[in-house]
Amino acid sequence: MGGLLDKANATKTETVDAEVVTKKVTVNVAKVVDAPSTPKGETFLQTANPIGLGLGALGFVLMWFLNNYFLEDITGPIPFGLVVVLIMAGSFYLVWDSIDRQKTLTLAVGYLLLTGLPYLAGLELGSSPGVSEISVNEDTNEFSFVVRGSFSSATSEILLGDESLWSESKDMSNDRSKFTVLLETIFMGNSQDHLLSTVNTYSIRVVANTGDTSTVEISPSLLNREVENSAAKLITRTETTEEGDQLVTGVTVLALVGMFSSSAAASVGGEHDMSSTSQKRLPVPSDYTIQLKILQGSTQTYESAEIKVDGLAATWEPASADEDLANFGSTNGWFSMPGNAMDENKLYEFIERDEFFEDDGCYNFQIIVTNDFHSTMNDASPGNGVFISENAWQLDFDSRESNSEMKPCTP
């Protein structure tokens, strides 16, 4: 009996041990099956994280533009090179993680080649001068730009076509140097006409002490500085009597300055026909003055305050102490010339009838612009930069009051 019992116990123990081993093996096998692995038959490109691959391609392309100063300006205080390095580092991690963090050395070598090839090519090609931050300071009337590059000094020129207008040499500091010149030194006429066609090509040429040269064209809009056209139109101001008659109390004069077709002309109703210009008009941000003069025949009957324009902002001294009278405006479109009175609702100002109107006749509303910058300012015999437009209408306020047709007339 004892022998049979021992044999049974031994058999039971072996069965339990076998079950434990089986469970352990099963668990281990399950763990092996659950572990990630690269599916057979798939290539590296199919397995690697697509976002990581995309960032790598982007970083590789950007590595070829490490000396691009436009991109450096976009990234601002953060060095553009650091941005590219961060892109490549992010790409490396995403790809490395997606292939089970294997083949680390091979992947690292590949990324070093991706980043090193463009860099070494850039060293071989050398560093051409870069020109950026081209701008005009409206307060000081200065034109400025920054030269960048890995050289010790540079000479910069501003050209009109092939003609040199100005030049200066400077040493570089931290691979950059800022050049500044007064606008009056280089201005020889507007870059464009009112149709935005280039008529004068201004450019910057930089020669580094290494012999490398760069030439960039100056944005035409920066050197449109001369007002070449002006125009006027009228709005009659009236009051109604107890009998229902409308009497003319004065006029509001609107002015337009800048560049537009010279064929624009005064039209019926005190209007100004701009249809011939196809609505093409180019504002001119610059320094100049505007003044309105009204003449009947050869006799001047009214003169407005002088308007000073800085950029597109116009300012003037009001004609009276009336606090409601405006003292500023914008030349970015039609704007009201200063008047000497306000309507009773304080909505608009105008020139009172008695201030300029003598009797029925042809009245010429001259818009006089005096440019600080004009095409002849650097000539041997410089002109005065004055442009005068004639805008004349027949005003029959005595005989017809508000029914005056205000037809164009010849002053």
Copy the structure tokens of residue 160: 């009109």
Residue 66 is predicted with a pLDDT of 64
Predicted confidence (pLDDT) per residue in 390-409, tens digit: 999 999 999 999 999 999 99
Instruction: Return d(Cα 389, Cα 378) in angstroms, integer.
Output: 24
| Cβ 337 vs Cβ 304: under 8 Å | yes
How large is the C-alpha radius of gyration of the chain? 39
227's CB contacts (< 8 A; 6+ apart) are: 257, 258, 259, 284, 286, 288, 369, 371, 387
Copy the structure tokens of residue 251: 């006029």
Instruction: Return d(Cα 222, Cα 284) in angstroms, integer.
Output: 10
Instruction: Give kind and range of the element (H or E) at residue 7.
Output: helix 2-34
Predicted confidence (pLDDT) per residue in 332-373, tens digit: 999 999 999 998 888 889 999 999 999 999 999 999 999 999
Instruction: Give kind and range of the element (H or E) at residue 25.
Output: helix 2-34
Architecture of domain 130-223 in CATH?
Answer: Sandwich (2.60)
Residue 22 is predicted with a pLDDT of 46
Residue 92 is predicted with a pLDDT of 78
| Cβ 184 vs Cβ 373: under 8 Å | yes
Q: Among positive and negative, which fits the CA dihedral 369, 350, 253, 348?
A: positive
Copy the structure tokens of residue 332: 């970015």
CA 193 to each of CA 3, 148, 190, 335: distance values in angstroms, whole numbers, following the listed order: 120, 32, 7, 22
Copy the structure tokens of residue 54: 């995309």
| Cβ 367 vs Cβ 388: under 8 Å | yes
Residue 39 is predicted with a pLDDT of 54
Instruction: Return d(Cα 198, Cα 282) in angstroms, integer.
Output: 13
- Say if residue 125 is exposed, middle or buried (CB neighbours under 10 Å; 0-12, 13-18, 19+): exposed
Residue 29 is predicted with a pLDDT of 41
3-state secondary structure of 225: coil
Residue 324 is predicted with a pLDDT of 78
List the chain residues with pLDDT less than 50.
Answer: 1, 3-5, 8, 13, 15-16, 18, 20-37, 123-125
| Cβ 267 vs Cβ 410: under 8 Å | no
Dihedral of the CA atoms 57, 60, 64, 70 (nearest 10)? 60
Among 275, 236, 237, 229, CA closest to 255: 229
Rounded to the nearest 10 degrees, the angle between the axes of helix 50-63 and helix 80-98 is 150
Instruction: Return d(Cα 246, Cα 237) in angstroms, integer.
Output: 10
CA 225 to each of CA 75, 136, 286, 357, 376: distance values in angstroms, whole numbers, following the listed order: 31, 11, 5, 35, 12
Where are the domain boundaries for CATH 2.60.40 in the chain? 130-223
Residue 60 is predicted with a pLDDT of 75
Instruction: Return d(Cα 342, Cα 129) in angstroms, integer.
Output: 58
pTM here is: 0.70
Residue 94 is predicted with a pLDDT of 82
**Distance from first CA to last CA of the chain, Å, rounded?**
146
Instruction: Give kind and range of the element (H or E) at residue 110.
Output: helix 104-125
